[in-house]
Structure 1
Amino acid sequence: MAPVAEPSDLPALIQGGMGVGVSGWRLARAVARTGQLGVVSGVALDVQLARRLWLGDPDGHLRRALAHFPDTEAAERILRRYYVPGGVAADRRRFRPVPRPSLRPNRTRTDLTVAGNFAEVWLAKEGHGGLVGVNYLEKIQLATPAAVYGAMLAGVDYVLMGAGIPTEIPALLDALAARSPVELTVDVAGTDERHTVAFDPSAFPEVGPLPRPRFLAIVSSDVLAMYLNRSSVTRPDGFVVEAPSAGGHSAPPRGRMRLDASGEPVYGPRDRVDLAKVAVLGLPFWTAGGYASPRGMAAAGAAGAAGIQVGSAFALCRESGLDPRLRRRLLQRVAEGTLAVRNDPLASPAGFPFKVAEVPGTLSEDDVYEGRPRLCDLGYLRTPYARPDGGVGYRCPAEPVDEYLAKGGAAEDTVGRQCLCNGLVAGVGLGRHRPGGYVEPPLLTLGQDLGFLPDLLGADGDYSASDVVRYLLPE
């Protein structure tokens, strides 16, 4: 475990690690340069690396980062396979496939995962001495060890993880810092047999011991915080305590799921976090979800928090990784008062409620959703399951229904499921063009508290990451 941080060492503001590529290196670097914690999203960085190289890496940033990657042979293999000088034509974005996560070893996938995380963190840290973190989903267990190692090779300062119970991450960070082989337990439906995904740092060039980043567990209840704190093996270095209004995935309500008149989950008194119980654990914590204002910052401090985590305010700023056209459309709808963000209980294949911003032309619209062929070719949210022959298969409730049923899935689990993987990738301008002219539509996520925007929007209807920091931390 990393040394316990003194209060003066802790950032007052954590920029949330949002979506796929929304919290990219440009945004994280901009926040880190203000003295706060900039965070990159660690989800699907292998696909993003491959696709941006396929588009020609026009500014040369990724090739510059790969030139510093310790495994020069792996970097050369990636460039040979995916880099297209000048990029492919805009209407031919069919992209060379990237191997999907699985228990079976695949060197191409491992190279891309390690290098993609390295490049994103390296670029976020380039040219300044500020703090940079990386955010992962516990649900995406198959990619975690290689992804974390890549981020650590670039000197990542913090690792954050939510959407699950990350009991094994502190020990994983300890082992990777020593460059020791690791195994991470993988949940396999339909069996009690333990399955693991293995990763051996010695497969990459010797770099010596690595600095061990601090680990922040993203939790939605004081009960989970106390559970993780019970043992030195599972204890994180701090917590981000997230309320249901935060963007992306959120924990389902405790107890029986009830929906309101608009079909959204109803949260009650049992879902309110007792921050006093978190504070008494003695670890630093940050609050998230509805705290994006000076008043929210003050309330967090009064509850004993080290600060707050803010996502949506940064997701809509100029340095955001969102496709610029979609970002402008979101801001316009906010200005018009027409933007709604729905907490959809069905959209995510992971089974967690997921915030969907309702924007014309995106998967939030029924006709766009119905017009998309069901398929699963990225596979980050696939669930491993035990096959009758004793092997392990993979299924996703957003894949074709007949395929899902043939793998033992239940028909009711397929209703309303969205392909978050392709939708979120499309939201940052990397959607795939398929035969016949079909283009993957985007899916956008934001938090449900957007009250900060009138204070941030300038005369030009826009604002920067540094504007957000100044608004939340006025001098």
Structure 2
Amino acid sequence: MKLPPLIIGNLKTTIPIIQGGMGVGISGYRLAQAVANEGGIGVISTVQIGYREPDFETNTKEANIRALRKEIRKARKLSPKGIIGVNIMVAISDYEDMVKTSIEEKVDIIISGAGLPLSLPRLAVGSDVKLAPIVSSGKAASIIIRSWIKRYNRIPDAIVVEGPEAGGHLGFHLEQLKEGKEHLDDIVCDVIKTVNSLKCEKNIPVIAAGGIYTGGDIVRFLRLGASGVQMGSRFVATEECDAHINFKRAYINSRKEDIKIIKSPVGLPGRALRNKFIQEVEKNRIVPCKCYNCLKKCDPNKTPYCISEALINSVRGKIEKGLVFVGSNAYRIDKIVKVKELIGELITEAEDLYVNDKAVNLLKW
């Protein structure tokens, strides 16, 4: 028995998997098109996407817009029938430009977090692009849905629920993460309950994200009522991932004790490898050489380091001089595989469990 498809409006996947958007440059067109061609939703991260453009240092904003167009077009060319999305952080300074460019390039879906995307529908008026905010609580989901209905007479086409085991920036206070009382299973159920209580005119699919690693994890969240899952770290150690081989090897060589919660210049806690760079930052401030004006709330005179420079170093393979974001299960990855192989493994395991689950329920009935 096959897993149910993920249906978001008129978009329909053959597998209920969204590939997470990972920046800077970790999930570009190569990874997105590969996932889309296997029946999932491939996602390009927009944050500082123009880092390879020749004028990035002197013309950052325009370089990012130009690069985003290129990445979307390349992904679409390689996956003309696949579903291609973008991940746009609310916290970035060129948020509106990234949204408008993505819409002009006719992406299928915009996934937006790192803040509440309350203005997103205004930027998408007149387009058929699907909008999916990222939340970390039922309360956040309620605020977004109510605001969108009141201001734009629109509801989200899907909601991504990101839990505390995700990689990168996390939508939780440091104290919450230390207490360990927040669990993705509970948050997903809370968001589903919230969505149902609002009695919207159409169904809002809920997608679970953060620390999802196996086919068994996929089935667990389908059982809870989620319509699909979003996975990031699993796709890093693939041949098609856009990162340097050294970045992928950092995942493969990592140990559980290497994965730590760090303080990011964004003002949010984040999950990353405690490598040489992080150890140095813990001791001394690394004064930025320049400001890329990448984040709305970053003060270059106070920031402990330049997050753009740190992430660009990592994606280029300079791991010991860069920030390596990882999910909580990254240490379990032990080899680099093709996207097709990874998805095949996940779906085979999930479908075996899904069949058994259905059989047990039929016997109970």
TM-score, normalising length: structure 2: 0.81
- Structure 1 position 451, deviation (Å): 6.8
Matched, 1:258 2:175: yes
Alignment equivalent of 2:49, drawn from 45, 51, 74: 45
User: What secondary structure does 2:293 align onto?
Assistant: coil
Question: Partner residue of 2:139?
Answer: 223
Distance in 2, Cα, partners of 1:469 & 1:288:
16
Matched, 1:277 2:189: no
Distance in 2, Cα, partners of 1:450 & 1:295:
17
Greater helix share, 1 or 2? 2
Question: Partner residue of 2:354?
Answer: none
Alignment equivalent of 1:304, drawn from 212, 225, 232: 225
Question: Partner residue of 1:117?
Answer: 68
Distance in 2, Cα, partners of 1:269 & 1:39:
26
Question: Partner residue of 1:380?
Answer: 294
User: What secondary structure does 1:30 align onto?
Assistant: helix
- Structure 1 position 238, deviation (Å): 0.8
Q: Is the 8 A contact 2:114 2:169 kept in 1?
A: yes
Question: Partner residue of 2:261?
Answer: 343
Q: Provide structure 2 residue ranges, at least 5 long, that are not aligned to the other structure.
A: 1-6, 352-365
Query: Cα 1:359–1:148, aligned 2, differ >3 Å: closer, same or farther?
Result: same
Question: Partner residue of 1:72?
Answer: none
Q: Is the 8 A contact 2:13 2:41 kept in 1?
A: no
- Structure 1 position 315, deviation (Å): 1.8
Question: Cα deviations across residues 51-80 of structure 1 (Å, max 9, x unaligned)?
Answer: xxx3xxxxxxxxxxxxxxxxxxxxxxxxxx
Alignment equivalent of 1:426, drawn from 313, 327, 331: 313
- Structure 1 position 115, deviation (Å): 1.9
User: What secondary structure does 2:330 align onto?
Assistant: coil
Matched, 1:287 2:208: yes
Partner amino acid for 1:473?
A: I
User: What secondary structure does 1:330 align onto?
Assistant: helix
- Structure 1 position 10, deviation (Å): 7.5
Q: Is the 8 A contact 2:84 2:108 kept in 1?
A: yes
Q: Is the 8 A contact 1:239 1:283 kept in 2?
A: yes
Question: Cα deviations across residues 217-271 of structure 1 (Å, max 9, x unaligned)?
Answer: 1110011112222243262111000101101110123xxx538xxxx63342598
Distance in 1, Cα, partners of 2:178 & 2:125:
38
Larger Rg: 1
Query: Cα 1:303–1:49, aligned 2, differ >3 Å: closer, same or farther?
Result: same
Query: Cα 1:289–1:339, aligned 2, differ >3 Å: closer, same or farther?
Result: same
Distance in 1, Cα, partners of 2:211 & 2:294:
28
Partner amino acid for 2:211?
A: G
Query: Cα 1:11–1:168, aligned 2, differ >3 Å: closer, same or farther?
Result: farther
Partner amino acid for 1:425?
A: I
Alignment equivalent of 1:467, drawn from 331, 341, 346: 341
Question: Partner residue of 1:268?
Answer: 181
Partner amino acid for 2:321?
A: P
Partner amino acid for 2:58?
A: P
Distance in 2, Cα, partners of 1:30 & 1:157:
16
TM-score, normalising length: structure 1: 0.63
The 4+ residue runs of structure 1 with deviation greater than 4 A are 6-11, 269-272
Query: Cα 1:353–1:376, aligned 2, differ >3 Å: closer, same or farther?
Result: farther
Distance in 2, Cα, partners of 1:349 & 1:40:
23
Question: Cα deviations across residues 355-383 of structure 1 (Å, max 9, x unaligned)?
Answer: 121234xx222279738434442121243
Q: How many pairs align?
A: 330
Identical columns (%): 25
